């Protein structure tokens, strides 16, 4: 029997993960028909069906699951060896495309980029900031930077920050005038700064305590879509703001803002770099991850 090639084995692994021949073909840099032919040829030589195929879905057979379990460790070892050889042979160069949210990396991303450019001047960094969560593979990005809770489960995520925390914030002059809310439902009586999401919807403030969760649609004199403007308005005493502790750290330490309802805003997983685990990491991506983790540990 003819031995299976690496392309065929990789095709099995990627189709099993994506459950879609077109998506697998895109990741493998092949046509969908070539992927289908490679798997059919392998099934013919093995004398066993590896996938159940319908017009709507693709799934592993029981024999396919056993086969994938056996070949996965070897594929990972081969990919690791190739990646190591590539990294050792090539200095990072070319282009690195990063997708992140506006303000999501404020105060953290630029120090990483500056150090990265200092070390790897032959890499051009292209950063796109947008509120919507995009498919970084589909839209041609190398890595994304988002809160852990926003990252698709099929991506590899590497933590950049410790846990994040949202706070309800107001200026001292605001609290002198209106007093302080004791529970989230009190917010209906307080002027608040509303946040418009990229979709156009208004963000509802989220609270949790003793497994009791609530989402409050606040009212107030302003609706904003920029967190820097939100911070300025809160410092000016226009209304209460809802933002992360990191975003407001300087204003908090300077006494320009105070937080309330802290027992209703528990921490949650912070920012991560994420990327597709189905692709080997090009040298610029690996270098960026290493620099990002190094800088993040210092901050």
Q: How far is CA 143 from CA 88, 99, 114, 219, 276, in A?
A: 21, 6, 17, 37, 8
- The confidence score (pLDDT) of residue 103 equals 64
pLDDT tens-place string over residues 6-51: 888 888 888 888 888 888 888 888 888 888 898 888 888 888 999 9
The larger pLDDT score, comparing residue 91 to residue 285, is at 285
- The confidence score (pLDDT) of residue 278 equals 64
**What is this structure's pTM?**
0.55
Closest C-alpha to 257, from 280, 236, 271, 276: 236
Q: Which residue has the tokens 């086969």?
A: 67
- The confidence score (pLDDT) of residue 151 equals 84
pLDDT confidence tier of residue 1, bands split at 50, 70 and 90: very low
Mean pLDDT of 147-161: 82
Mean pLDDT of 128-145: 85
- The confidence score (pLDDT) of residue 295 equals 80
- The confidence score (pLDDT) of residue 254 equals 96
C-alpha–C-alpha distance, residues 296 and 273, integer Å: 11
C-alpha–C-alpha distance, residues 234 and 295, integer Å: 30
**Full set of structural domains in the chain with CATH:** 6-89 (1.10.10.10), 94-163+270-298 (3.40.190.10), 166-264 (3.40.190.10)
pLDDT tens-place string over residues 260-286: 999 999 887 778 888 887 666 788 998
- The confidence score (pLDDT) of residue 84 equals 65
pLDDT confidence tier of residue 107, bands split at 50, 70 and 90: low
Joined tokens for residue 129: 């900031």
- The confidence score (pLDDT) of residue 86 equals 60
pLDDT tens-place string over residues 173-205: 999 999 999 999 999 999 999 999 877 889 999
């Amino acid at each position: 029997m003819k031995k299976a090639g690496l392309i065929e084995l990789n095709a099995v692994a990627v189709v099993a993960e994506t459950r879609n021949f077109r998506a697998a073909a895109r990741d493998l840099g092949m046509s969908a028909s070539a992927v289908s032919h490679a798997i059919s040829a392998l099934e013919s030589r093995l004398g066993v069906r590896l996938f159940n195929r319908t017009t709507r879905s693709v799934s592993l057979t029981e024999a396919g699951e056993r086969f994938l379990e056996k070949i996965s460790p070897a594929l990972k070892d081969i990919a690791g060896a190739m990646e190591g050889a590539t990294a050792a042979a090539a200095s990072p160069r070319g282009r690195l495309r990063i997708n992140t949210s506006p303000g999501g990396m404020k105060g953290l991303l630029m120090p990483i980029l500056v150090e990265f450019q200092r070390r790897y001047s032959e890499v051009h960094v292209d950063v796109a900031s947008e509120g919507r969560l995009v498919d970084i593979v589909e839209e041609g990005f190398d890595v994304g930077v988002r809160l852990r809770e926003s990252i698709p489960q099929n991506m590899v995520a590497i933590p950049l920050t410790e846990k994040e925390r949202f706070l309800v914030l107001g200026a001292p002059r605001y609290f002198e005038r209106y007093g302080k809310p004791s529970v989230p439902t009190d917010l209906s009586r307080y002027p608040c700064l509303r946040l418009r999401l990229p979709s156009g919807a208004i963000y509802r403030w989220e609270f949790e305590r003793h497994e009791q969760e609530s989402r409050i649609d606040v009212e107030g004199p302003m609706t904003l879509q920029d967190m820097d403007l939100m911070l300025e308005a809160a410092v000016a005493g226009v209304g209460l703001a809802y933002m992360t502790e990191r975003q407001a750290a300087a204003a908090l330490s300077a006494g320009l803002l105070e937080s309330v309802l802290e027992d209703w805003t528990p921490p949650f997983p912070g920012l991560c770099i994420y990327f597709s685990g189905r692709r080997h990491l090009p040298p610029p991506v690996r270098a960026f991850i290493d620099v990002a983790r190094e800088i993040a540990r210092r901050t």
